[in-house]
Structure 1
Amino acid sequence: MRIVRLANFVTVHTGGLRTALRQLGRGYQAAGHEAVLVIPGRRFSDKMTKQGRVITLPSAPLPRTGGYRVLAGRRELVKLLDSLEPDRIEVSDRTTLRWTGNWARQRGVRSMMVSHESLAGLLGVWGMPKRDALADRFNRRTAEAFDTIVCTTSFAAAEFRRLDVPNLVEVPLGVDLKLFHPSKMDVAVRSRYARPDELLMVYCSRLSAAKRPELAVDTVASLRNGKVPAVLVMAGDGTRRTALAYRAARLPVRFAGHISDRSAVAALLASADVALSPGPVETFGLAALEAMACGTPVVVNEQSALPEVVGGGGIAAAGTAEAFSDAVSRLMERPRVERRGAAREQAEQYGWPKAVAGFLQAHEAVPEPATAPALIRPAVPSRPYLPSPRRTAPAREAGADEAGAARYA
């Protein structure tokens, strides 16, 4: 079965979405299906990777979004989809790509929309009036356009459930329990950021308004005001970095930037005492789950979906610096072995094989043995897709798109 996946807003900074796309693609391939991912980027490319075929279509960056791009050329995308002849489509953008649900229905192709965010929550972050009514209207149209709506937590599903959407399913995402492991703890990494007598906290996410990174900075200030020798590493980048640097000017906060090496991310998370996830509209929180898999407990915003994910592996707190600093202190009062063991145990409930099986079930795609290649269609479609003439030149340039396919290999 050929599963074509479409995703927008994919950049080097979108760690959670990028990880989910990569792991699901690998899982589909391992189950005997053919996975094709279509994303926007700087230039055209078409690569075979471990997660299947990755096609990057040239797209201009959206202003003031930190480098986000979208698949804006509808005619070009229709041409590509028609040439791919998918059996299923899986869409990870509920705004600009909603029209693809109707495309699929017209061609008898089953479609699935994956809701990676709370629309009402995002509208609230942006200060939109009447956000619930606006979200309800938009979500109802989305549910009508697709055969299946997938949400990764009850929190994310709530805005669809209140509309009595009949085609809603919940499928949790997963975590790489081998890569993110307590054994990744590195004394050298820890000493790079903190002295032995200091409390090392880590924030690992995009530096954007929706993630509320300023709350992590303010938590350090609150702890230090209480005479707790806390330091913070902020691993990530985004539009809020300059403002955060000013905010943290007199605090022990280190900006590590985006860390592309996943092993290095695991080492940092495993070497920290506590991870912070302050975003109020997180619908799953892969970074928090990865921290727990490393044995590092997390403090999360009680307004988000994370309380149902972290369980006993952390503490949910109100979205204030005082509440977060109090939660950090309470975590550190627990014996080290107990708090780290509880974090790892909670993470072990989530694995990518289980998540992949859930997504395939939502697709109504029965896993097929990976040893039966005859069941897999050739990677080259029967009706080859060729980019329009004005876009062929970039395709001949050396290398894959740095903001696209190469990062999924």
Structure 2
Amino acid sequence: MTSFPGTRIAQLANFVGPTSGGMRTAIEHLGQGYCAAGAERILIIPGERDSVTETGAGTVVRMKAPKVGGGYRLITDPWRVIDTLERFRPTTVEISDKSTLLPVARWARRNDIGSVLFSHERLDAMLSLRTARPGRLGGEGPQYRQLGVAAGVGALYKLLSRTYDAVVVTSRYAAAEFDEVTTPLVRIPLGVDLDTFHPSLATPADDGVLKLVHAGRLSREKSPHLAVATAAELHRRGVRMRLDVYGSGPHLDELVAIAGSAPVTFHGYVDGRRTLARHLAEADIALSVCPGETFGLAVLEALAAGTPVVTANTGGARELVTTSCGRWARPTPEALADAVLALAQLPNRRAAARERAELYDWNTCIQHMLTLHTRLASSRLAA
């Protein structure tokens, strides 16, 4: 990897909770990569109390922040963040927040510091999924528009595009929420830990039972209801199957009700990435069916473990699978059940899944991000 001494990167993440898995994983790997390349790095996140911790991947600053629901915390005083940044003196700031930390991006612009918005989710899709009823969680793009959510955030996107030097998106789907003519978009796919998630960890039992797995937070914006309803539909058709669900969240009771008599087991939160990787490798097929996912780290982790994936035909996760290692369908239990049965007949799908995941390594993602940070820092100094 190219060395980047003299680069001082401040990473800021807001709306952080105990299970904000995808964003947390991405920030962790990027931060480790920045430091490994010789850059200095500070991470500022909300916490239960103020603290400063020195780690091998730079300084981690937790700022006391209130809970805003579901165990998540939100920094509501951006001026405290700015005070910390003035002491650190970054060459660039990388912000994973589209609302309360906007004053930080303005501060960076006034001080000739490069600014990057890392867009981890589409607000229109996320808000629609959060407010949808369980029976309507298959919502496709037109449904979002009917809900009027996209129109409500349009003004915010225009403001973001004028404030940041670059907006990083991870998929074509994620880019679609911005006006690509006026927004400085850079598309950089995320990576996957190919050592931790590996097919050698386990092999599905050859017992005639179709083993499905779903891993993720049990809240509406991740669409676990749709995954469980798909398993229930397969059970209704008489398919010998079982679904193992790994993750915790506020909607467990709803999911149990949707499962009914279907063989669905809710295992709760899995402590340890290696343990999760083994559970993924034990399955025949992973269900990662959220129609509003901007990228889909859970998809890549399943593929890296050798487990093919069924996903929705909308969202960034669709861009990660091919016909050799997955299937996609309309986000309804009936259509997704059809996709599961079709994928179960596909030969060589486990080897193809691993090969697909190997196209997405963290080193490539980190190198692209460091190159962007360096370019923005240089252009600001030259301005």
Task: Give the alignment of 1:350-365 within 5 angstroms.
Answer: 350-364=360-374
Q: 1:89 corresponds to which letter in structure 2?
A: V
Distance (Å, rounded) in 2 between the aligned partners of 1:260 and 1:111? 34
**Residue 115 of structure 1: aligned partner:** 119
1:248-327 aligned within 5 A: 248-312=259-323, 313-327=325-339
- Cα distance in 2, alignment partners of residues 98 and 345 from structure 1: 40
Deviation at 1:50, TM superposition (A): 3.5
Identical counterparts, % of pairs: 40
Aligned to 1:179: 196
CA–CA distance in 1 between the matches of 2:76 and 2:90? 20
* Aligned pairs for 1:10-409 within 5 A: 10-62=16-68, 65-125=69-129, 126=131, 129-160=147-178, 162=179, 164-185=181-202, 196-312=207-323, 313-335=325-347, 338-364=348-374
Q: Deviations over 1:63-121 (max 9, x none)?
A: xx311101112232222121211111000111221221101111111100001111222
In structure 2, what is the equivalent of residue 399 of structure 1? none
Q: CA RMSD in A?
A: 1.9
Partner of 2:140 in structure 1? none
Distance 1:247 1:226 in 2: 16
Question: Are the aligned partners of 2:231 and 2:259 in contact in 1 as well (CA < 8 Å)?
Answer: no
Mapped pair 1:9 → 2:29? no
Q: Tell me the SS of whatever aligns to 1:363.
A: helix
State the shift of 1:48 in Å. 2.3
Per the normalisation by structure 1, the TM-score is 0.83
1:377 aligns with none
Distance 1:100 1:91 in 2: 9
Tell me how far apart the structure 2 counterparts of residues 168 and 322 of structure 1 sit (CA, whole Å): 36
- CA distance, structure 2, for counterparts of residue 41 and residue 271 of structure 1: 35
Contact persistence 1:283–1:304 (CA under 8 A) = yes
Give, in angstroms, the shift of residue 166 of structure 1.
4.2
Paired residue secondary structure (2:322)? helix
Q: Does the 8 Å contact 2:8/2:40 carry over to 1?
A: yes
The residue type equivalent to 1:136 in the other structure is: G
Could you say which residue in structure 2 is the equivalent of 1:370?
Answer: none
Whole-angstrom distance in 1 between the partners of 2:371 and 2:168: 11
Distance 2:265 2:329 in 1: 24
TM-aligned CA deviation for residue 364 of structure 1 = 2.4
Q: In 1, are the aligned partners of 2:223 and 2:289 still within 8 Å (CA)? A: yes
Please give the secondary structure, in 2, of the residue aligned with 1:227: coil
Q: Using the alignment, how far apart are the partners of 2:95 and 2:10 within structure 1? A: 8
Q: What is the CA-CA distance between 1:365 and the residue it aligns to?
A: 5.4
For 2:228 and 2:78, locate their aligned partners in 1 and report how far apart those are by CA, in whole Å.
41
SS in 2 for 1:251: coil
Unaligned 5+ segments in structure 1 are 367-409
CA shift digits 1:285-316 (9 cap, x unpaired): 00111000011000011111112112232111
CA contact (8 A) 1:210 1:280 kept: no
Q: Distance in 2 between matches of 1:140 and 1:45?
A: 35
> Contact 2:232–2:258 (CA<8 Å) still a contact in 1?
no
Q: CA deviation at 1:164?
A: 1.3
Aligned counterparts of 1:365 and 1:353: Cα–Cα separation in 2: 18
Measure, in 2, the Cα distance between the counterparts of 1:159 and 1:73. Answer: 27
AA paired with 1:91? I
* Unmatched segments (≥5 aa) in structure 2: 1-6, 133-143, 377-383
In 2, the alpha carbon distance for the partners of 1:251 and 1:48 equals: 48
SS at match of 2:191: coil
1:385 corresponds in structure 2 to none
The 1:249/1:49 distance shift into structure 2, 3 A limit, reads farther
TM-score by length of 2: 0.89
- CA distance change for structure 1 residues 68 and 225 in 2, over 3 Å: closer, same or farther? same
1:247 partner letter: I
Q: In structure 2, do the counterparts of structure 1 residues 199 and 27 end up closer, same or farther at CA, with 3 Å as the change threshold?
A: same
Higher relative contact order (CA 8 A, sep 6+): 1
Q: Conserved in 1, the CA contact under 8 Å of 2:78 and 2:100?
A: no
Count of aligned residue pairs for this structure pair: 356
The one-letter code of the counterpart of 1:288 is V
Question: What's the offset of the Cα at 1:269?
Answer: 0.6
